[in-house]
A and B are shown apart, each in its own frame.
Chain A
Amino acid sequence: MKEKFWRWLDGSREYLEDASDMDETPYREREEVKTQIRERNDSLDKRRGTRAVIRAEEKGFRLLYSWVAVISAIFLIGVLLYVVSYLPRYGQENPQTTLVARRYLEDGVRETGAINAVAGMILDYRAFDTLGESHVLFTALVCVMILLEKDRKNMRRGYEDYYRITGEGFYTPNRDGIMQAAGFVLLPSILLFGIYILLNGQNGPGGGFSGGTVLGSGLIIFTMAFGFDTVDRIASRRLLKGVTVVALGFYSFAKGYVFFTGANGLESHIPKGTPGAILSGGLILPLDIAVGLVVACTMFGFYSLFRRGSIGGKGKACSGKKAGTGAGTKAEGKDNA
């Protein structure tokens, strides 16, 4: 129990200790690592007494650990329920605390030019938070690219056999007749609907995030029906990256301009327009379009990364002879089988 406690405190996972030497790990074969771990465990057992004692101690610690976990979870649930019971009921809030929300709802149309109060709130009153939020999405895209995009480090030697079963058209999903017919019928309406949602963010439910999601799913359906080769001709890697950079850059600088003029008491010269018209709500419409494009690119980027390990066309690392190798191909193999 003591051992386990210290290991818990130290956060060390001994069974991986040997798999962790800085230089070798990525290239060592799995079986070799397993053998080493087994050998190490055996030597540990010899040094620290019999296996049975350790087992019993670990079992004791695990029992204690899970009991403490369960009790603290129950305690936290109880506390939260108790706290919630003292929160003000719906409609009976202190009028002072609804001051902010009231102005958003009552003066929103006049001050932001948007009939949709949510759009006015997130893209005008509290635009700074939304600026951060759209970059959260971009950060997620970068993290997924780091994880899944194929490069020399995550293409293992063990997977190179897949080179044989992969050709140029390997990433093309099965050209399924039903899928193609459905895509042929559905796609125009999906894209049109996405654009409608995107452009109407200031007047009704919708806006950049939801419209972009619909557009992105349209692109994904298109890929499923007609394959990556077709899509890459339209949405190449350069185009997707370019659109993301331009849209987010426009967002940052447009909003930065508004913040700057607002804070310094300058006139921003951005017309609010007539509430209800398509061209209304000041910057809300262009920002919605920017956010929508970023969301669509991100959605498609995620799909493409998970499916074939690169965004829009072949990445640097997998061009040329190495095309079609990589960890991602394992799933592909099953898919096509």
Chain B
Amino acid sequence: MPPDHTPSAADWRRALARFVAVIPHTRALGLEVLEATPEGVTLRLPWHDDLLGDAPRGLVHGGVLTMLLDTACGSAVLPALPAPEVCPTLDLRVDHYRPGVAGQAIIAEARVVRVTASVVFTEGTLRQQAGPLARGIGNFVRLGPRNTPPGFAEALFAEAPIDAPPFEESDHA
């Protein structure tokens, strides 16, 4: 991305689709990016039976919701910075309103609340058809340009398909 070019919403949606597709865990789960702007991101986790935490009762594992909030809040960080930086999660707090149920996609919305020199403060929510499932508050550390690998921004906005390391197709049923 040239430095004088401000990415459009479509640029960011593509960039974050690449971002979640290069993460082996979210790629394996087929996580989709519906929207991405500096104001926030919307992701969609399609249903898969491996997301269950209580199979007989058909309830989603609470850890799936934490994983999804971590991913959504972390994705929201990138478009909100002056230039993309690697930002690991410092801490995360999740409130569970109700358990997720089997058979429905989970929608994640996240936004950056505040950016400081060293930390990015975010919040996110999860929902299914029936309503809200959980809320998350995540803080991310800014590693700065010095600790961000060269070519990170270019890789996000590249046209070519992502050259991700190979991984085995999931077969844990």
Partners in one complex: no
Question: Which B residues are closer than 8 A to A by beta carbons?
Answer: none
